[in-house]
Amino acid sequence: MIVASRKSLDEILGLLGSCKKVLVLGCGGCTSICLAGGQREVRDLCAELDARVRDHGGGLTLHELTIERQCNETFFADADALVKDYEAVLSTACGAGVQFVAERHPALPVLPALNTAFVGFDKGVGWYEENCRTCGDCVLGETGGICPVTRCAKSLFNGPCGGTRSEGTCEVDKTVPCAWFEIHKRLKGQGRLALITKVRPAREWENQTRRSVIQEPYKARYAKP
């Protein structure tokens, strides 16, 4: 899942500037699941904005709407109908959702209410941890299911570096496990240490320009004539 967290109220107010009529657009996808941008968080955000603006003389009209997903046009009927009545859209989707809305309504300022943080999984309710940098060339099959690109502070492919602490934590933070210490432990347990005793050559980075994916069965559909 894509994990995001909300910007500060001050930053959001700064982005809104002099806009008086704002559509606050929630997303029912990832940012709803990570408790940053779904219906409930949109309600809370509007309440906070209202309270703050009221203290300063009021005059901000907010309309709340949460759609199923902001990254696919099939969910936009309601939002599209409303947008024309507003001076700006404040989106609580991830960065992709914000851009999707902005592309649909190029004449309107579409503003992010969140900072998109990472791809990760749940550690507990409201607690998430980064686990994938979407590097485009997955090595998990050879690293015991532990991502060195994301979880090693230096993204080493032939770790561990010289800094691993005696308790098996990273040189950067003594509370964070060293990815390569964990990789070694797991592969040892599986009897597959041979996977990391050979030199892994320099990799080709696949994420240096914008990427697109067309799944194999759909290639014909999108083929240029």
Binding residues (CB under 6 A) for ligand SF4: these are: 152-154, 156, 159-161, 163-164, 170-172, 178-180
We find the least distance from the C-beta atom of residue 96 to other proteins, in angstroms, to be 22
Beta strands in the chain (DSSP E): 2-6, 21-27, 61-67, 88-91, 110-112, 114-124, 127-132, 169-170, 173-177
Residues 70 and 26: their CA atoms lie apart, in Å, by 8
Copy the structure tokens of residue 219: 């290639």
**Which part of the chain contacts other proteins (CB under 8 A), choosing from 47-55, 111-119, 135-143, 159-167?**
159-167
Select the binding partner of residue 21 from ligand SF4, other proteins, none (C-beta < 5 to 8 A, by kind).
none
Q: Rule CB under 8 A: is residue 163 a binding residue for other proteins?
A: yes
Nearer to other proteins, 26 or 148 (CB): 148
Which of 198, 211, 219, 224 lies at the binding interface for other proteins (CB under 8 A)? 198
Closest alpha carbon to 68 in 105, 43, 31, 34: 31
Which of 197, 209, 212, 215 lies at the binding interface for other proteins (CB under 8 A)? 197
Q: List, as one string, the DSSP characters of 32-87.
A: HHTTSSSHHHHHHHHHHHHHHHHHTT---EEEEEEES-SSSGGG-HHHHHHHTT-S
Select the binding partner of residue 205 from other proteins, ligand SF4, none (C-beta < 5 to 8 A, by kind).
other proteins
We find the least distance from the C-beta atom of residue 123 to ligand SF4, in angstroms, to be 18
